[in-house]
Amino acid sequence: MKKLIVAFCLVFAVMLAGCAATPEIPTSSPVEAAQATPEAVTLFDTATLKIVLEGAETTITDKTTGTEYGYTTTRKLTTQQPTLEQMQARCIARTSANTDTVKIELAGALIVVTDKATGQVYYIDP
């Protein structure tokens, strides 16, 4: 019983010491710096297609035609439950671009890129 009381007193003392200490406020946040200048990451780079992710920006370059497609991913936080129609709309892929060399489909936040020259399909979930 004495050990339990001693343990309780130690935990309580540590809690009081933690509450009494003034918290240090950082002058600059590394997260803010990272969000201010997102680093570009090349996800795929083939002879016919290049896909680059830079923060919320996804750039798809069709090297055959020189066409560049840009997509921005945004997320909306809500406390409301989505309706059945909203949930179904996220699952159905909509064609964004369809050329002789590339097909790009959007399904919610997922980007599906089909390289028609090689037959390769890329799934990007930023």
64-89 pLDDT, tens digit per residue, is: 999 999 988 877 787 888 888 888 87
Instruction: Of 108, 111, 110, give the one whose Cα is nearest residue 88.
Output: 108
The residues facing 121 across adjacent strands are 114
Where the chain has pLDDT below 50, the residues are 20-21
In the numeric block, the tokens 């919610």 are attached to 108
Per-residue confidence (pLDDT) for residue 40, from 0 to 100: 86
Strands (E), 38-100: 40-45, 49-54, 57-62, 67-72, 94-98
Spans of all domains in the chain: 30-124
Per-residue confidence (pLDDT) for residue 115, from 0 to 100: 92
Handedness of CA 114, 66, 111, 35 (dihedral sign): positive
Per-residue confidence (pLDDT) for residue 50, from 0 to 100: 93
Per-residue confidence (pLDDT) for residue 120, from 0 to 100: 92
